[in-house]
Amino acid sequence: MTTGGGSGASAEPGRSPLRRFAGSRAALWTAFALVHALLIALNLGGPGWPLGDVESVYLNWAQAAERGYLRMGIDAPWVYPILAFAPMAASLAFGADWYPETWLALVTLLDAAAFAILLGPRRLARTRRLAAWWWLAFLALLGPIALGRIDAVTVPLAIAGLLWAFGRPRVAAALLTIGAWVKVWPAALVAAVVVAHRRRREVVTVAVALSVGIVAVCLLAGSGLNVFGFVGQQAGRGLQVEAPVGVFWLWQIVAGAEDVQVGYDRRILTYQISGAGVELAASLTTPVMAVAAIAVVLVGVRAVRRGASVGRILAPLALSLVVVLMLANKVGSPQFATWLAAPLILGLATRPRRYVVPAVLAWLVAGFTQLIYPYWYGWLLVANPGFVLLLTAKVVALVLLAGWGIRSLWQAGSLRAAPAGGHPAAASARAEEG
């Protein structure tokens, strides 16, 4: 798969001027600007304080380090990997008063870079045009949370990494590894590339070398084991109210159970569920996640061993791993929905007809997320039946996404590759990997 790829968006007989414009770079970049302007406006002036973490948490961490009080991840364990501090500190460039605006500008620039990579430098491919329109609609449906959390920094890195994985695996490995040291989830995409790509040794070498370098710099700065503090910080969390598994206890509250409650944890700064069986469920989420991820990887390995091309494997494998991380997660924060963008953009940019169903399901997840957070989040906290139903519908959509991804992986491994040059599909597979 090349960066430009596919047929162009040049004028075609029978197409109206409006349709030609809708398929042009000018239309896409105009829509990009409008969607991001809307998201910025909602973050800065919308209800529900969507920039709460940025303005009250990220800013405090950045100022503490600037004033020499405390460097999170260096002087103390931190909930995030160490590179998360880079965008938080960079957003202080124009002072604390402009911190929210600087943050939003930084994320928008990162999105713009990923958008440019998606469109490519050559003639605009129909498949990439469709993927670009899908992403813009996804961002609009997801709402302000699409820009207002640290996850928003990792998404463009993940998109670029997956798009470049076919022909530039070392660059892809570097981008995805950097993303994983900002927020852990892109590590699943590194694993997907390692499984699917023939040049997996290069991917592993880059990822390990870069990680060792990051840890070495932190150790020289005096971090000690604090550089790995995010592992313990996450392990000690309880069951957050938005966690998929938490739906079971939210319905108990709806039914009138008095021993199940939602409370605010001031140490972790999140709303968590308490009640009979909650602690056990929270403790089981991590091992269940590990087992599920290993199972998905094994299905991917099966497909590779049966000769499926990286073009057939990478997107569904990445999607399945990402959804497993979302479903078997005791945190379940609304910003996790942003993770769906990267694997689905890859799928739509390569094989759009196969990805209609997951693309629509992801839109539903995004829309449900914005309805719940940030506008009417309080209704979920009091277990309003309508909003518990919305959260349940979101979980069902994620389960369907996982099922679609694993089924696609299994099908890829059920069709043995034809001998090179012996079937048109072989040439297509080689073209996808180029």
**% of the chain surpassing 90 pLDDT:** 80
Q: How far apart are CA 170 and CA 186, in angstroms?
A: 15
Q: Which residue has the higher pLDDT, 104 or 430?
A: 104
Q: Is residue 105 part of a domain?
A: yes
Sequence length of the chain is 434
Confidence of residue 3 (pLDDT cuts 50, 70, 90): very low
Query: Residue 415, by phi and psi: left (phi above 0), alpha (psi -120 to 50) or beta?
Result: beta
The average pLDDT across 84-99 equals 96
Ranges assigned E (strand) in 148-289 = 261-265, 270-274
Q: How far apart are CA 270 and CA 268, in angstroms?
A: 6
Q: Is residue 11 part of a domain?
A: no
Confidence of residue 416 (pLDDT cuts 50, 70, 90): low
Mean pLDDT of the residues in the chain: 90
Q: How far apart are CA 272 and CA 278, in angstroms?
A: 10
Number of domains in the chain: 1
Q: Which residues pair with 431 in a beta bridge?
A: none
Q: Is residue 405 part of a domain?
A: yes
Three-state secondary structure call for residue 274: strand
Q: Is residue 183 part of a domain?
A: yes
pLDDT of residue 419: 41
- pLDDT digit string (tens) for 288-333? 999 999 999 999 999 999 999 999 999 999 999 999 999 999 998 9
Asked whether residue 170 carries a pLDDT value surpassing 80, the answer given is yes
Residue-range definition of the domain harbouring residue 355: 17-433
Q: Which amino acid is at 271?
A: Y
Residue 378: exposure state from Cβ atoms within 10 A (0-12, 13-18, ≥19): exposed
Contact of 344 with 317, CB cutoff 8 Å: no
Packing angle, helices 341-350 and 126-142, rounded to 10: 160
Q: Is residue 3 part of a domain?
A: no
pLDDT of residue 433: 36
Asked whether residue 12 carries a pLDDT value surpassing 70, the answer given is no
Q: Which residue has the higher pLDDT, 352 or 235?
A: 352
Tell me whether the omega of the peptide bond preceding residue 50 falls within 30 degrees of 0, making it cis.
Answer: no
Three-state secondary structure call for residue 403: helix
Asked whether residue 216 carries a pLDDT value surpassing 50, the answer given is yes
Three-state secondary structure call for residue 165: coil
Residue 225: exposure state from Cβ atoms within 10 A (0-12, 13-18, ≥19): exposed
Residue that has been written with the tokens 């040059």 in this structure: 421
Q: Is residue 130 part of a domain?
A: yes
Contact of 192 with 311, CB cutoff 8 Å: no
pLDDT of residue 14: 55
Confidence of residue 238 (pLDDT cuts 50, 70, 90): confident
pLDDT of residue 121: 87
pLDDT of residue 122: 82
Q: Is residue 8 part of a domain?
A: no
> Beta-carbon neighbour count of residue 302 at 10 Å?
15
Asked whether residue 11 carries a pLDDT value surpassing 60, the answer given is no
Structure tokens at 22: 């809708």
Q: What is the pTM of this model?
A: 0.91
pLDDT of residue 13: 52
Please report, in angstroms and rounded to a whole number, the separation of the first and last CA atoms in the chain. 5
Q: How far apart are CA 398 and CA 153, in angstroms?
A: 23
Asked whether residue 386 carries a pLDDT value surpassing 60, the answer given is yes
Structure tokens at 336: 């996790």
Q: Is residue 1 part of a domain?
A: no
pLDDT of residue 434: 34
- pLDDT digit string (tens) for 219-232? 999 999 999 998 88
- pLDDT digit string (tens) for 98-132? 999 999 999 999 999 999 999 998 888 889 999 99
Asked whether residue 285 carries a pLDDT value surpassing 70, the answer given is yes
